[in-house]
């Protein structure tokens, strides 16, 4: 029987500082009612001074390793999905490897923005199935707050900071990751972007003055594409595995916007009691949102052995991705 990769431990961490909508009313021209109605977000977490992406990764990773019953030195590979790493180089995964004491693990980052964790899960799945990795740590982590224009109510109300991690190991049988599905449409790259800081627009006084180091977003256009795309993605993923939507125990979507989540669930005829939602507490934590949510539902006992779990995300690129898991 061919190998599958199975999640054997989950962990998550969010900073202590809570920024609620009423505090945002003092920063920008917005209101709790406006934010809640359009996004479903009530509050988000903000990393403290000196608290870096790798620090969030470290706490989530410790919890995932503990849940899996592993020591850091047993890991052979670490993948970090992020668009807000500690620095352009080296990778945040390398910094995490050092902080964690995982001396036997190779480490690298990937960037697919909000779809990053699922892109990373697909890569991790291939490493496990090929036999190239036996004990793999995958982390999704973001410190989005460092890239927000607090005068732009279209973006600053949406994002928060956090990290989620999973440990993957090989297993035989019918449990584990059944399939992953990755998609990109680069023609829509400017729907969500952070234009400054790369080789096209390297840091300068002009890029700072022009606000090019802040996240830019075309909200309405992104919303329309996301709802349409996520419905089709979910249907295709379930069909590929001959699983009916009614057989799903849990849908764990990227936590970007409650309206996108409810619209997708409605189109698939999935009741909301089978949909994991925490966007109200954390806002959009980009690549961290799915692993944070997964960890919460696992620790709450909402998933049991043999359950079908569908993960799906949509983000900058534009990218979208899914994974079907039999727990």
Q: Which domains does the chain have, with CATH numbers?
A: 3-173 (3.40.47.10), 178-326 (3.40.47.10)
On the question of pLDDT at 95 being above 80, the answer is yes
Contacts of 160 (CB under 8 A, 6+ apart): 14, 19, 44, 45, 46, 144, 145, 282, 283, 284, 285
**What kind and span of H or E run contains 77?**
strand 77-81
**What kind and span of H or E run contains 143?**
strand 136-143
Looking at residue 109, what is its pLDDT?
A: 98
On the question of pLDDT at 65 being above 80, the answer is yes
Please tell me the distance from the alpha carbon of residue 270 to that of residue 276, in angstroms, as a whole number. Answer: 11
Q: Are 256 and 131 in contact (CB under 8 A)?
A: no
Mean pLDDT throughout 95-118?
98
Looking at residue 241, what is its pLDDT?
A: 96
Percent of the chain with pLDDT over 70: 100
Looking at residue 57, what is its pLDDT?
A: 98
Catalytic residue numbers, as ranges: 114, 254, 284
What would the pLDDT profile of 182-215 be if each residue is shown by its tens digit?
999 999 999 999 999 999 999 999 999 999 999 9
On the question of pLDDT at 1 being above 70, the answer is no
What would the pLDDT profile of 6-53 be if each residue is shown by its tens digit?
999 999 999 999 999 999 999 898 999 999 999 999 999 999 999 999
Confidence of residue 228 (pLDDT cuts 50, 70, 90): confident
Average pLDDT, the chain: 95
């Amino acid at each position: 029987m061919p190998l599958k990769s199975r999640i054997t431990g989950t962990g998550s961490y969010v900073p202590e500082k809570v920024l609620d909508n009423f505090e945002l009313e003092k920063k920008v021209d917005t209101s709790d009612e406006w934010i809640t109605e359009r996004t479903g977000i009530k509050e988000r977490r903000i990393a403290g001074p000196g608290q870096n992406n790798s620090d969030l990764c470290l706490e989530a990773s410790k919890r995932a390793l503990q849940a899996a019953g592993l020591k850091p030195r047993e890991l052979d590979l670490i993948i970090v999905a992020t668009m807000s790493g500690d620095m352009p180089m080296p990778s945040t995964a390398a910094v995490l490897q050092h902080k964690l004491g995982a001396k036997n693990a190779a480490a690298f980052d990937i960037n697919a923005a909000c779809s990053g964790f699922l892109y990373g899960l697909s890569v991790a799945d291939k490493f496990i199935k090929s036999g190239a990795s036996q004990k793999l740590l995958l982390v999704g982590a973001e410190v989005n707050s460092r890239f927000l224009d607090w005068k732009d109510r279209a973006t600053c109300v949406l994002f928060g900071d956090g990290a989620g991690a999973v440990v993957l190991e090989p297993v035989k049988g019918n449990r584990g990751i059944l399939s992953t599905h990755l998609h990109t449409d680069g023609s829509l790259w400017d729907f969500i972007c952070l234009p400054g800081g790369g080789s096209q627009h390297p840091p300068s006084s002009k890029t700072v003055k022009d606000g090019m180091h802040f996240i830019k977003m075309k909200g309405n256009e992104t919303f329309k594409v996301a709802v349409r795309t996520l419905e089709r993605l979910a249907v295709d993923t379930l069909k590929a595995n001959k699983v009916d939507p009614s057989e799903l125990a849990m849908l764990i979507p990227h936590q970007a916007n409650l309206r996108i989540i409810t619209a997708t669930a409605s189109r698939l005829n999935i009741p909301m009691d089978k949909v994991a939602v925490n966007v109200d507490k954390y806002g959009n934590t980009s690549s961290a949102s799915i692993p944070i949510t997964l960890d919460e539902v696992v620790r709450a006992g909402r998933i049991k052995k043999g359950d079908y779990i569908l993960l799906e995300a949509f983000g900058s690129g534009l990218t979208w991705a899914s994974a079907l898991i039999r727990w």
